[in-house]
Each structure stands twice: as structure tokens, then as C-alpha cells.
Amino acid sequence: MTTQRKSNRSSSEELCIECGLCCDGHLFTYASLKDDEVPDALDLGLTVDAQNTPGERYFALPCPLHDGNCSIYKDPRKPEKCSSYKCQLLNDLEANKIVIEQALKEVRHTKAMIAEFKHFLPEDANKSFCIELLPYLDTLERAGIKCDAEEDQNLLKAGILLAHYNQQFGVTQLFTNRRKWLSQH
């Protein structure tokens, strides 16, 4: 039996607002924009790369409008991607495969995994978490993602976190971002 929600928010809204991993740079390095959304995105304060080719627009993550909560969650000018993206956890919640308490527990678990892994990353306020994670992903791929007890524990934790991203949130874009990163390094 699920407990009564203390607010008028839907379970989906509650999960998204509590989670924010797709906004804060932990799951993705960028979010796509439609060309006609660029003026509103700029007005809202989003970082839109001036080099973006029309039809391939995006804004950088972490989103500057997310500071623990989305400051434009109900703003009609927010990019469509912010409303249309649904992670696997949200899909499972909406399909009644899990209840909100389980989903929120999974979010807290994921955030704890991220916090533990961050201790091993160099501090660089100019890089998103995903960008910091990409060298580990490259090493995992080169190693055939076969970590044993004698290999670098950081690498193992990166692999576990990446597998968790894929399983719980359906995130595979990080693998695409890795190819972009490799071409630049």
C-alpha cells in the first residue's frame, strides 16, 4: 500500500523534481533544442553553443537553471526536451511497474553511487560529471569491460555506475558523448 502524497503533484512530477539527474549533468552532457527554441533558451539563461549548426542545437549541462530543483519546471518557455525526456525509471513508474517510494529510493541510491565515485575524480568545476567520467568509459571499453579484483577500483566503480545508468535510467547517450570526446582528445 502506498502512502498518501503530501502535495498536489503527480508521482511523475515528484520523481522528476526530486531526481534532476538528467538536468544536473550526471546523465548527459547536453540537451537538444529545436531551432525556434534558441531565443527562449538564451532568454532563460541557458548556455547555447554559438557553433551549433541549425537543426543540431543544444544547451550544455549541467543546466544553470537547476540548483537542486528546476527553476523553470512550470515555465512555458522551457525547452521541449525538458518535458519530453523520460528515463527508464519514470517510464516504469508511469507503467505501474514500481511505486513512487521505490523510484525515489533508486534515485537516492544512484546519487549515493555518484557521490562515492566523485571522490576519485579530479576536481574541475568547468567540467560536467559526464565529461569527467568519459576517460573511465574509454578505459572500460578498451579493457572489454572486464574488471576483476586486481584492476583499478575506480574503473570498476565507473563500470557499475555506467551499467546502473543504463539499467535504471535507460541512458546510452554517454556512449555517443564518448565518441565526441575521443575525437577531441
Per-domain residue ranges for the chain?
11-184
How many whole angstroms separate alpha carbon 167 and alpha carbon 143? 21
Q: What is the pTM of this model?
A: 0.70
Bridge partners for 70 per DSSP: 66
Return mean pLDDT, the chain. 78
**Residue 129 · residue 25 · CB < 8 Å:** yes
Among residues of the chain, what percentage have pLDDT more than 70? 70
Pick the more confident residue, 37 or 176. 37
Q: Which residue would you say has higher pLDDT here, 14 or 154? A: 14
Supply the pLDDT for residue 105: 95
